[in-house]
A = this chain, B = another copy of it.
Amino acid sequence: MKQARETCDCRIIHEEKVAAARRRALDEFTIGELSLTFKALGDVSRLKILWALEHEEMCVCDLAALLGITESAVSHQLRLLRTLRLVKNRRDRTILYYRLADAHVSQLVGIALQHIQEPAAGGQQPEEISR
């Protein structure tokens, strides 16, 4: 039952823990997909797009005006979001209207918002309690 020595003499301390973690680990493909999804959310422009679409469907043109970047840039970002099934679109005559693909996006953004707005709870040093 090799229960590890507390003095890590050479780069593996708790073999049991590591082995257990290895057993529970997600496969590389899943980790990769997860990473791609979060990467997609980890960009200011794409977050603005998603936040806008959360409330109302919009076309490329509108989004470009809203973000203050070119339609090309918006289109590139929308492609990424489409590929990851984070947004969908529908055509109305000449215009493509984009919307969120499902509830997951809202949930993810919502939870992340909660996280960053949480006042550093838990017991970190306050650093700015005054006022």
Residues of A within 8 A of B (CB): 6-8, 11-14, 17-18, 20-22, 24-26, 30-44, 47-48, 51-52, 55-56, 58-59, 61-62, 64-66, 71, 85, 88, 93-95, 101-102, 104, 107-109, 111-116, 118, 120-122, 124
Contact = CB atoms under 8 A, between A and B. Distances in A.
Q: What is the count of identical protomers in the complex?
A: 2
A91 to B, nearest CB: 12
B47 A35 contact: yes
B30 A113 contact: yes
A33 B24 CA distance: 31
A26 to B, nearest CB: 6
A115 B17 contact: no
B122 A56 contact: no
15 contacts: A12-B65, A13-B95, A14-B58, A14-B59, A14-B62, A21-B52, A24-B55, A26-B48, A31-B51, A38-B108, A39-B39, A39-B43, A85-B115, A108-B108, A108-B112
